[in-house]
Amino acid sequence: MSISTPGGPERRPTVVSTGKKPAAGRPAAGAKATGAKAGPNKSGSAQRAGGGKGPRKPITPVKVSQGRSWGPIALFVAVGVLATSIIGFGAWATFKGSQSWQDKAAGIDGIVNYRKTDPESLNYESHQAGKIEYKYSPPVGGAHNNAWQRCLGDVYDAPIASEHAVHSLEHGAVWLTYRPDLPAADVEKLASVIRGNDFMLMSPYEGLDAAVSIQAWGYQLKVDSADDPRIKEFATTLAQNASIEPGVPCSSGNYTTGTGTEPRELAPPTGG
């Protein structure tokens, strides 16, 4: 289309004027004339114009005045729509894909992010033996014992020591706690979220101010019903991701599986 020849400008008017009417109306009386003229330049177009449309000549002139070539218009529109959808899909995929677990966590309605609101409460110097006072109940991080509570989808049926559970949180565990007077059916619903999943554990918790509270290191969500879908959302989003020692196991090592809120020292104490 872009090859230019010296004769171009001069030739154009003739070609265009003869071709003009048939152009709008498609195959037309002029088609043959155009074909004849264009013939010497390009045989393909001549053939098409003359051969294909020739026989129908008599009928077409009516359409000529009506203009619009819908075929090409439809094509333009189709290309436009396609381009828009490709760009749109790309943008959407990029946006979705770039959603980190932190973004997903922030999207959980009612979640409290102590990493933002109170990062100091999560700081600690070293492992600490014995009872520890926690600022939040249930605790969401901070100092803890040397041993951690095993968090291999463990469902403990009695309260456990926060000093061990907080160490599990540090390893990326999600700790689901519930009010001890919760009906057994509700406890079973909660257990079905936890059981069988690495980096999760669950236990009753005395004095809880909500039916259920679920926590990860620096994160907490309290809800009033065991049926709340946000419980599972919290668990799957934060398990392992919330670890502040990425790659550390929950299931093996210096863990305890005992219950009772009194912390236990395991193995030979390693100092502090």
Residues forming contacts to other proteins in the complex (CB under 8 A) are: 1-5, 7-9, 11-12, 15-17, 19-20, 22-24, 26, 31, 34, 38, 41-42, 45, 48-49, 67, 69, 71-72, 75-76, 78-79, 82-83, 86, 96-97, 99, 101, 104, 152-153, 195-200, 232, 235-237, 239-241, 247, 249-253
Q: How far is the CB of 81 from other proteins (least distance, A)?
A: 10
| Rg (alpha carbons) of the chain, rounded to whole number | 37
123 neighbors 141 (Cβ within 8 angstroms) = no
As measured in angstroms, the least distance from the Cβ of 224 to other proteins is 23
Q: Helix or strand or coil: residue 89?
A: helix
Nearer to other proteins, 41 or 270 (CB): 41
Q: Is 136 exposed, middle or buried (0-12, 13-18, 19+ CB in 10 A)?
A: middle
Q: State in angstroms the smallest separation of the CB of 46 from other proteins.
A: 10
CB of 2 to other proteins, least distance (A): 5
Alpha-carbon distance of 58 to 172, in angstroms, equals 82
Residue 214, SS3 per DSSP = strand
Nearest distance in Å: CB 31, other proteins: 8
Q: Which is nearer to other proteins, 6 or 130 (CB)?
A: 6
Cα three-residue angle 201-204-209, rounded to 5 degrees:
115
Tokens of 235: 């668990």
Closest CA relative to residue 71, chosen from 32, 26, 22: 26
Q: Report the nearest approach of other proteins to the CB of residue 99 (Å).
A: 8
DSSP 135: S
Residue whose CB is less far from other proteins, 66 or 117: 66
Nearest residue (CB) to other proteins, 2 versus 126: 2
Helix (H, G, I), strand (E, B) or coil at 127: coil
Cβ nearer to other proteins, comparing 142 with 171: 171
Q: Is the CB of 163 or the CB of 233 nearer to other proteins?
A: 233
